[in-house]
Chain A
């Protein structure tokens, strides 16, 4: 039977402010437990929240980047539940009127072409602390360093129809957030976490009952969890059962999900307006100012790289994966403006490949854009061939020396002197008279053999274009 998958995603994204959402404590990651706390984020009696306006600005910026409406008046609410890592017994969040509404992310899908995935809302809230149970006997430990760190919760419409679409959406969203610089979005550090709402139906039917897969922080797990859940739901229905609305937890070790709590067991969060914070008001002028400072977004950069530098869609895509990559590429083009396409090819294919082997990101590259530009220059002015350039690049990465220094040191300067090349060719022809005769007898394929021999004799330094040209000439006889 034909099944359609329906997916909606909720992303919790840590906003990268220096201080917490409602107090002055540091948000630095990885400090000793409970060292970044104060009476406010510890929920001590009489303490009051004061909103971090930088977190507001970053949420607005994110809203503008996804083409959303910014609510000039939004509200904070309390979400009530008891848990030891939630000091106040409630979380300050935005329930009724979020700061951002009605945005979207565009994705390219395999089966359905270009699709616009709706974003229902982005609201601000505070993170809870961390509970630790592992390796402890009959006690739990609480670390409240994370308590009160500002989050954006980004809630999508149920617009995705496969796990691939879900991942495409998440990757694009992740990329936008990284480009905006509003979050480190480091998934391993839990700065970008995802809940997936999944249901199945027959095309054209009403939505099926959904389940929620909680708190996943790797694209791979999210895809596995969705695929597992889709199969599970289809099996349940095809076996004559009914999907139960519930929250489920993905076990990435066992590759299966298990029920966390059913709808009946779900908390009643007793939301109500947060009386300690007046409604959040922002002016249109403030919004406009934030908009004016908006950096170029990935899709805008891709388009510009294609038109301004003539890059292929593929290269443009590769070089706009992160802000660091596109910045590096633009610095490289500035250093070697003669041939932006050469820059793109070499950066995408040669440099990134090598960095990957070294387990480094572009921002940690031992070769700077200027140094790499010099290497491009040496190819451009025919000092070295592309083949030699690859060796030079290896040496640059290894030694940190400049391209020119390596070329000089190793004597890699390309031979473009007709006399020297002719001498090599004549010597090779003399030593391979049989092949010369065969070639002249019509065996054109042997041309490659002669090129190889000359390049070998020159240790790769002969100018390949000239070798071709002189060989043709001299082999004619």
Chain B
């Protein structure tokens, strides 16, 4: 049971084979057993979880089941929730309690989901290994000496080790897909504007997008169908986005007629040989399923990381100005004056990586440097968008590795931010172009999961889901679970 998919649990609930309370208790027990090892959750309120489950069972009995009735979903500490603290894994928001729910949290509640708790993450979502968290690193269930990826590392580890059947993450430069890849699960970043950002703590506003992290493609579709949709409270949430039949898109079992673009720039020197082999094997499998592989070029790919590390920190430098200790958040002791209060509070509250990005961003926006950095980066962004538009004239979807490497050891890259930034080399361009992307497991390299990334045109998550579903149906990677956490639980599976 613990490693069941969300949809499988849903069927069991629908058939009255179990109850929401039982399901919640199962995962609470697993969290109690394993979280100390993994540090995937930074906040759990078991009583509150059980109360929600109880209410869900009552709702089901009285009014029938809603879209996610009784299904446990964990959320990254970046989502504001009225219950419990929302700290973005930063000391500057230590013990901050939001007086509101994020829009997507409201949507999940309205669909009957049981919110399990807050998951670990890189501080303010700035990181690719979950090591910048103020609450300590999270570990990869496949090898607890390694990182789970980031920034949604806690959500990834929690789903991978079945401490929850599903979780929400956010993806600014790969923060859903890269950890999904490194922990062997499925992660979907919707088209920018598909999901409201209201109540999600902003990192880089023009790039941030929330999405599901799940065991199966269909589970990702179930959650996205609930959290997506126009929100009049977010001016960047698109009002006339094409509606999709999310679940029907997952019924696809073949790839007949599908033209898959394979960009040569994504298969380069320096990538892990087994990652490459796994992805190439996956592409062969797609051919066997009826797809046509088309060599394509995304010529500006090499500029994506540089552009991203100007645009994202620039936006972040402004987004994080509100943590000034005046109205909420950490304030230093006995400030001498206003300047001392600002500098000391922020110095104590923010970690090194966050400071690095604030400084980078403030520099890029400074008078005299703006044209050379920010403006140039925006021009590159347009070129990258154009690359994809051109590619999609000839192909329906693009397939790439999600990450050039598998999970690395804790501390391995912490002193080398540039190498760390390269972990997102395959995911960043998708955010810059605002496109939907999905990562799903496609193999192993030295017993660590490898991820396959799908990229579709804007608003065509259905194309992603169909291709990924067909691949998932023909393979068994999504059913693999990390041994150390796969003890038999109550004889169910």
Contact = CB atoms under 8 A, between A and B. Distances in A.
Interface residues of A, number: 28
Given A47-B199, A89-B321, A276 B93 contact: no
B366 A268 contact: yes
A270 B317 CA distance: 10
A272 B327 contact: no
A142 B324 CA distance: 14
Contacts of B318: 78, 80, 88-90, 270, 272
B322 to A, nearest CB: 4
Interface of B: 80, 86, 88, 93, 96, 98-100, 102, 197-202, 204-206, 232-236, 314-315, 317-318, 320-322, 324, 326-328, 338, 342, 362, 365-367, 370, 374
Nearest to A39: B100
Contacts, number: 99
B321 A88 contact: yes
A36 B243 CA distance: 38
A45 B201 contact: yes
Contact of A275 (B80, B93, B200, B206): B206
B323 to A, nearest CB: 8
B98 A45 contact: yes
A87 B370 CA distance: 24
B324 A46 contact: no
Given A142-B326, A272-B314, A45 B88 contact: yes
A43 B232 contact: no
A50 B232 contact: yes
B378 to A, nearest CB: 8
- Top 8 closest A-B pairs, CB basis? A89-B321, A275-B205, A270-B365, A275-B206, A43-B322, A46-B199, A45-B201, A84-B326
Nearest to A23: B233
Contacts of A44: 98-100, 322, 327-328
Interface in A81-118: 82, 84, 87-90
Contact of B370 (A49, A78, A272): A272
A43 B321 CA distance: 10
Given A45-B80, A45-B98, A270-B366, A82 B322 contact: no
Contacts of B88: 45
B324 A278 contact: no
A319 interface: no
Nearest to A80: B318
Given A50-B233, A84-B338, A45 B322 contact: yes
B324 A47 contact: no
A88 B235 contact: no
Nearest to B208: A275
A173 interface: no
Contacts of A45: 80, 86, 88, 93, 96, 98, 201-202, 322
A90 B321 CA distance: 7
Nearest to B199: A46
A282 to B, nearest CB: 15
Contacts of B324: 82, 84, 89
A244 interface: no
A194 to B, nearest CB: 26
A270 B206 contact: no
A49 B235 CA distance: 7
Contacts of A46: 80, 98, 102, 197-202
A405 B70 CA distance: 81
B70 to A, nearest CB: 27
Contacts of B327: 42-44, 87
A248 to B, nearest CB: 22
Contact of A276 (B96, B201, B236): B236
